[in-house]
Amino acid sequence: MSNLKRRKIKNKIFHALVFASTLFGVIILAVLLFDIFKDGLKWINFDFFNNFTSRIPTRAGIKAPLLGSLWIILLTTVIAFPVGVGTAIYLEEYAKKNWITNIIQVNISNLAGVPSIVFGILGLAVFVNMFGFGRSILSGALTLALLILPVIIVSSQEALRSVPTELKQGAYALGMTKWKVVTGVVLPYSMPSILTGGILSISRALGETAPLIMVGAVAFVAFTPKSIFDSFSILPMQIYSWTSRPQEEFHGLAAAGIIVLLVILFLSNAIAIILRNKYEDRLKG
């Protein structure tokens, strides 16, 4: 066999190998979804959404954790989004490029790599015990807000950087103050991609379990939360609790809970993608 032929065959084998490894992820995703839908679909009905959890599988539902997740996510968004976007605006538009800014920047990317459970430990020590918020929705939301803050900051910074300098300079030339330039030019231009990043990080928060176990999410809640100081359950916590039981029925319930969680995530990601596409169209047009 000639040398060239051997090299071409090697290339073909390699092509097949790397294609197979890409396919691996796709197949795993298919198997995972199939496994979950096969186990869980039959448990999804009206009662599943309208019942509290129960020791009897057929009576168990996700009313409390679904509402709990909703409360937590809303509160997390309200806290994390302004702070995250504000930090990004400060770093991109206001701060001088000096060593302090550099430290803040390095610190943010380090925080993004801290395991979520460490944020849970922080929440337990600071919000639950030191501030005395107890094992409440507020503690949970504050913890999650700190967890997703670095991601929101970084994605917002990227969005802000994409604003053309000419636009900003034009605004300054008209005599606008910095804040006017930010609110009148920079933010309107970059808002779609800030929102895209925000939605993606908030949907990440929706699936987080470990930090909320640390600040006291419980699996057996039989009431709907009335205030941010109530104790709470969340969807992933309920899934965790059902999965860790040995009985087959509870695994079915867990799978049903996962389907609900995945549908919510899918919808929020779809919104993010639609926003991104709209934004890209506008840039082209």
Partner 1 sequence: MRANAIDITDNGVSCKKKLKRRNPFSEILVKIILSLFAGISILTTIAIIIILCKETLGFFQEVSIKEFLTGTEWTALFNPPKFGVLPLLIGTMMISIIGSLIALPIGLGSAIYLSEYASERTRKILKPILEILAGVPTIVYGYFALTFITPVIRNIFPSANVFNALSASIAVGIMIIPMVSSLSEDAMRAVPDSLRQGAYALGCTKLEVATKVVMPAALSSIISSFVLAVSRAIGETMIVTLAAGSMPKFTFNPLENVQTMTAFIVQVASGDVVHGGLAYKTIFAVGMLLFIITLGMNILSRIIIKKYKEEY
With CB under 8 A, what is the number of residues at the site for partner 1? 85
Residue 243 binds partner 1 (CB under 8 A): yes
End-to-end CA distance of the chain: 55
Residues between 1 and 60 that touch partner 1 (CB under 8 A): 7-8, 10-11, 14-15, 17-22, 24-26, 28-29, 31-32, 35-36, 39
CB of 254 to partner 1, least distance (A): 6
The least CB distance from residue 19 to partner 1, in Å, is 5
Q: Please, what is the minimum distance in Å from the beta carbon of residue 126 to partner 1?
A: 6
Distance CA 201, CA 108 (A): 15
Contact 137, 71 (CB under 8 A): yes
Q: Which of residues 195-214 bind partner 1 (CB under 8 A)?
A: 200, 203-204, 206-210, 213-214
| Residue 94 binding partner 1, by CB under 8 A | yes
Count CB atoms within 10 A of the CB of residue 154: 21
Question: Contacts with partner 1 in 150-189 (CB under 8 A)?
Answer: 150, 153, 175-179
Taking CB under 8 A as the binding criterion, the range among 52-60, 67-75, 88-96, 158-166 that sits at the site for partner 1 is: 88-96
Name the nearest CA neighbour of 91 among 218, 186, 211: 186
Quick count: other Cβ atoms within 10 Å of Cβ 89? 23
Measured CA to CA, the distance from residue 160 to residue 57 in angstroms comes to 49
- Helices 248-284 and 3-40 cross at an angle (nearest 10°) of 120
* Helix, strand and coil percent figures for the chain, each rounded to 5: 80, 0, 20
Site for partner 1 in 97-156 (CB under 8 A): 103-104, 106-111, 113-122, 124-126, 129, 146, 149-150, 153
Contact pick of 60, 73, 221, 261 for partner 1 (by CB under 8 A): 261
73 binds partner 1 (CB under 8 A): no
